[in-house]
């Protein structure tokens, strides 16, 4: 008899727990998260059909306004500021900005926006200067890159077609040209200034406010000594846990365990409905926290790391994209040599080639930093065909 009663008690406890778990899941995943996240671009709850077109148009409009504002800034500067001295040799950091003339999106003046932001950041750290900046103009078409010309008074602008006349007669696919342009810019920066470290930005990579503080911190970490490159950007849409990168799965499980333990410790303070501390409850809460994190969007969790440069995480490099890259020490020269030996084409652009080269070359290590240190503002590509109506996703 007592055995039956014990079984009944256990059964009622379990069904009570299951019912509470079910209510919690329905409320969280069916009510609270949809209400909180339906406008968050990188959440699973984002209402794409309702908001995507509108948000994309808004972002294009803003980008156009910011481009026009940057254009006025650089045009107006000529009357109020004296040009600075040419960049000094041997700087701690050289930032090379690779740029080509854009046909689509020309009026958003991406390059001018990026340079305006760099100018603002550099004026905030002058003694000693955070970095020297060189603009690397790789335009080879019949028209000049007007934005680069406008910046000439303020920054050193190097031009590939002036240095390498033969490039005008080069008949290579656009991805191979893009790679050769990149190699030229890497080598030219090194040759001109012999910097101790190099950052290469593409002309639509807008640095974040803490850009130089984080770079300085990264360079002070041990891993940088042996790094071939550190990626400073990965597309937001590819940052979720479900984009399987081994370290992300570990991070996801760790977050689940920490979050569930915190909940188990906090819930008893909230009243009699709290679950008892047991392994099944812990497992349930681990899965619950993991699901909440993924559905809300890992991208938003990463933003918390912006609190301090020390909190930025470094992990093995991910494949896609090179809009912002840090090359510690003489790594930019090694990368130029590696890229020189490879051929790029559609489906095998310089970002993929570099990723594979880093993995297959003994002794070289490639890393990614999170969260992103730049915002990618280029809605229009200068190497690919552009859609009639570019979208944020
Ligand atoms: C955000 C993002 O995913 N960007 C990636 C995407 O660029 P996108 O397709 O977004 O092209 P983009 O217009 O950003 O151009 C990338 C870079 O190439 C430069 N450029 C352009 C034309 C040219 O003849 N020579 C030249 O060097 C241009 O100035 C810019 O610095 O694909 C590229 C590879 O193809 C790189 O992996 C980019 O990081």
- ipTM score of complex: 0.99
- 116 ligand 1 Cβ < 6 A: no
- 105 ligand 1 Cβ < 6 A: no
Q: How many angstroms separate the alpha carbon of residue 139 from the centre of ligand 1?
A: 13
Residue nearest to atom 26 of ligand 1 (CA): 178
Taking alpha carbons only, the member of 65, 199, 84, 90 closest to residue 151 is 84
Q: Which of 112, 142, 180, 323 to mutate to test ligand 1, by most ligand atoms within 8 A of the CB atom? A: 323
Cβ atoms of 91 and 193 within 8 Å: the answer is yes
pLDDT at 272: 65
Q: Which fold has domain 90-236+314-376?
A: Spore Coat Polysaccharide Biosynthesis Protein SpsA; Chain A (3.90.550)
Cross-strand pairs, 376: 205
Task: State the greatest distance between any 2 C-alpha atoms of the chain, in Å, as a whole number.
Answer: 97
Residue nearest to atom 27 of ligand 1 (CA): 178
d(CA 330, CA 286): 44
Residue nearest to atom 30 of ligand 1 (CA): 202
Q: How many angstroms separate the alpha carbon of residue 93 from the centre of ligand 1?
A: 23
pLDDT at 120: 97
- 318 ligand 1 Cβ < 6 A: no
pLDDT at 141: 81
Residue nearest to atom 6 of ligand 1 (CA): 321
Q: How many angstroms separate the alpha carbon of residue 71 from the centre of ligand 1?
A: 22
- 351 ligand 1 Cβ < 6 A: yes
Q: Could you list the mean pLDDT of each consecutive 10-residue stretch along the chain, which spans 393 residues? A: 69 79 96 98 98 97 98 88 77 98 94 98 92 96 92 94 80 95 98 98 98 98 96 97 90 97 86 74 96 98 98 95 98 98 97 97 96 97 92 94
Q: How many angstroms separate the alpha carbon of residue 15 from the centre of ligand 1?
A: 57
Q: How many angstroms separate the alpha carbon of residue 259 from the centre of ligand 1?
A: 39
Q: How many angstroms separate the alpha carbon of residue 97 from the centre of ligand 1?
A: 12
Q: How many angstroms separate the alpha carbon of residue 271 from the centre of ligand 1?
A: 56
pLDDT at 110: 98
pLDDT at 275: 66
d(CA 274, CA 253): 23
For residue 350, the ligand 1 atom closest to its alpha carbon is 34
Half-sphere exposure of 11 (CA within 13 A, CB side): 6
pLDDT at 166: 72
- 245 ligand 1 Cβ < 6 A: no
Q: How many angstroms separate the alpha carbon of residue 148 from the centre of ligand 1?
A: 16
Residue intervals of the chain classified under CATH 3.90.550.10 are 90-236+314-376
């Amino acid at each position: 008899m007592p055995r039956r009663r014990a079984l009944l008690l256990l059964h009622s406890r379990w069904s009570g727990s299951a019912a509470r778990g079910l209510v919690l899941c329905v409320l969280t995943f069916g009510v609270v998260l949809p209400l909180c996240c339906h406008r968050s671009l990188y959440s699973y709850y984002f209402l794409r059909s309702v908001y995507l077109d509108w948000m994309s148009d808004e972002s294009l409009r803003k980008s156009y306004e910011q481009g026009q504002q940057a254009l006025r800034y650089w045009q107006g500067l000529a009357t109020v500021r004296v040009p600075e001295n040419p960049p000094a040799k041997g700087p701690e950091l050289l930032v090379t900005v690779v740029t080509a003339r854009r046909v689509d999106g020309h009026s958003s003046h991406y390059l001018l926006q990026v340079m305006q932001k760099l100018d603002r950041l550099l004026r905030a750290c002058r003694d000693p200067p955070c970095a020297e900046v060189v603009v690397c103009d790789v335009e080879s078409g019949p028209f000049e890159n007007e934005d680069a010309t406008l910046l000439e008074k303020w920054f050193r602008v190097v031009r590939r077609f002036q240095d390498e006349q033969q490039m005008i007669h080069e008949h290579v696919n656009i991805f191979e040209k893009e790679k050769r342009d990149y190699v030229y810019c890497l080598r030219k920066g090194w040759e001109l200034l012999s910097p101790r470290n190099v950052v290469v930005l593409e002309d639509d990579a807008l640095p974040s406010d803490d850009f130089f503080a984080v770079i300085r911190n990264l360079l002070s970490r041990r891993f940088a000594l042996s790094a071939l490159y550190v990626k400073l950007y990965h597309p937001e849409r590819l940052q979720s846990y479900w984009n399987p990168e081994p370290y992300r799965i570990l991070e996801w499980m760790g977050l689940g365990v920490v979050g569930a333990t915190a909940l188990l410790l906090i819930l008893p303070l909230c009243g009699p409905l709290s679950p008892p501390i047991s392994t099944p409850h812990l497992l349930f809460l681990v899965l619950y926290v993991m699901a909440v994190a993924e559905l809300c969007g890992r991208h938003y969790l990463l933003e918390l790391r912006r609190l301090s440069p020390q909190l930025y995480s470094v992990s093995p490099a991910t494949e896609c994209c090179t809009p912002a890259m840090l090359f510690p020490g003489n790594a930019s020269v090694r990368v130029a040599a590696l890229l020189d030996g490879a051929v790029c084409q559609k489906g095998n652009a310089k970002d993929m080639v570099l990723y594979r080269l880093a993995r297959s070359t003994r002794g070289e290590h490639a890393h990614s930093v999170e969260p992103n240190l730049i915002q990618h503002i280029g809605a229009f590509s200068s190497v690919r065909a552009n859609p009639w109506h570019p979208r944020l996703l």
